[in-house]
Amino acid sequence: MNLKIFGILVCIFLLSAICLAEETEYFDWKGSKLYASKNYTDALTYFDKAITQDPGYIDAWIHKGDTEKVLKDYNGSIQSYNSALKIDGKKVAAWSGITEDYITLKNYANASIAAAKVTELDNKTKANWLKEGNLLQLQGMYNESTAKYDGALALDPKYTDALYKKGLSLMVLGRYADAGTLFNQTVTIDTQYKQAYVAKGMAMEAAGEYSEAQKAYDAALQIDPAYAQALIGKMHVLLALKKPQEAMEIFVKL
């Protein structure tokens, strides 16, 4: 073959490849714009076009998974994220997307597996440790969950959500004093954390410290006078303190 003709063919090939790549990026960009405007059905069409053009274009797979999630096609979304992971098994966005899909499907075992991968790949983000702990807690794996909360607290000792959630796990494990300490730390950092006051009340109540429990429930009610969990907790404590009249005054308001 004439070298000149060969050179022309090579140039045509390279130009075609560049054009195809640019077209793929355009399809993904167009899909992202439609997604941002909440036109999810049309966005999905463009992500599919990008993938058809280049099955190895990982962003399009992830964007497709995100769109399918919004459209409540969770199994389809998981498949799209898995396709992205076949291209790059360390893509955090794909593992995060799978985690959220499984949480929505209440498949906490598989959600935990995906969440653990997210933490492994991005162990400097405290929210990843917290989510992994929460998923373990939902499965009744309380000892295991505390280790994940410790991971979050190693990054931020004042992370109130991790302090609170670790306290809940310890309370279920019967470690009421340790749980109470964590709840105290939580409300010291965030005085408006009403859930921590209620949890403290429950821990004190379980330990038979009813007066302290009432104080904790009252603190929650100062933040939110209609907080049902605090009202119910206080009612139980008043009954334990032999104050049925005050307890009934709460009961009739529930």
What does 136-161 look like in DSSP terms, one character per residue? HHHTT-HHHHHHHHHHHHHH-TT-HH
Considering the chain, what is the average pLDDT of its residues?
91
CA distance 231 to 249: 10
pLDDT tens figures, 223-235: 999 999 999 999 9
CA distance 102 to 78: 8
User: In the chain, what are the domain boundaries?
Assistant: 191-254
Contact 67, 47 (CB under 8 A): yes
Confidence of residue 24 (pLDDT cuts 50, 70, 90): confident
pLDDT tens figures, 139-180: 999 999 999 999 999 999 999 999 999 999 999 999 999 999
Residue 146's identity, in one-letter code, is: T
CA distance 78 to 36: 21
Per-residue tokens: 214: 């009432």
pLDDT of residue 21: 52
pLDDT tens figures, 86-112: 999 999 999 999 999 999 999 999 999
pLDDT of residue 118: 98
Rounded mean pLDDT of 72-91? 98
Given a cut of 50, whether residue 16 has pLDDT beyond it is: no
Per-residue tokens: 17: 């490849």
Displacement of CA 29 from its chain's centroid (Å) = 27
pLDDT of residue 252: 85
pLDDT of residue 177: 93
Could you confirm whether domain 191-254 is CATH 3.40.30.10? no
Number of H helices, E strands in the chain: 14, 0
Question: What percent of the chain shows pLDDT beyond 90?
Answer: 83
Return the residue matching tokens 């429990």: 213
Rounded mean pLDDT of 10-29? 57
pLDDT of residue 11: 38
Question: If DSSP states are collapsed to H, E and C, what string results for 187-225?
Answer: HHHCCCCHHHHHHHHHHHHHCCCHHHHHHHHHHHHHHCC
CA distance 155 to 127: 10
